[in-house]
Amino acid sequence: MFVIVWEFVVKRDRLAEYERAYASAGDWAQLFRRAEGFVDTALLRDREDRTRFLTIDTWLSRDAYDAFRAAFDAEYVALDARTEAFTESERRIGVYETVTP
């Protein structure tokens, strides 16, 4: 598995819009589902800071993610431009792969 984790701090007046766009059935997941190899998106909210979230996007492999970006880059860039208005900040925490012995 290939996983990308992002941290977002969301504007208080845009919380509902952000949650709709980033939830497991939201705009991002709908775009990801158009590609082969997408597994799931999880949206986590910080219990102490209601404006801080993590997203965890899971793909079958790095190759599947790279193929998605190549095929859907214009849609990705457009959705990113639209949804960045919801946030104060965003930071990629990291890119991870399953460890197999």
Does residue 101 register a pLDDT over 90? no
CATH code assigned at 14:
3.30.70.100
96: DSSP letter? E
- Return the SS3 of 61: coil
Q: Is 14 helix (H, G, I), strand (E, B) or coil?
A: helix
The answer to pTM > 0.85 is yes
Give the range of the structural domain holding residue 67, as residue numbers without chain letter: 2-93
pLDDT of residue 100: 84
Give the pLDDT band (50/70/90) at residue 21.
very high
Q: What six digits make up the tokens of 72? A: 């859907």
Q: Kindly state whether residue 98 falls inside one of the protein's structural domains.
A: no
- Is residue 99 in a domain? no
Among candidates 22, 40, 5, 3, which has minimal Cα distance to 87? 22
> If 0-12 CB within 10 Å is exposed, 13-18 middle and 19+ buried, where does residue 14 land?
middle
22-69 pLDDT per residue, tens: 999 999 999 999 999 999 999 999 999 999 999 999 999 999 999 999
Mean pLDDT of 7-14: 98
Q: Is 63 helix (H, G, I), strand (E, B) or coil?
A: helix
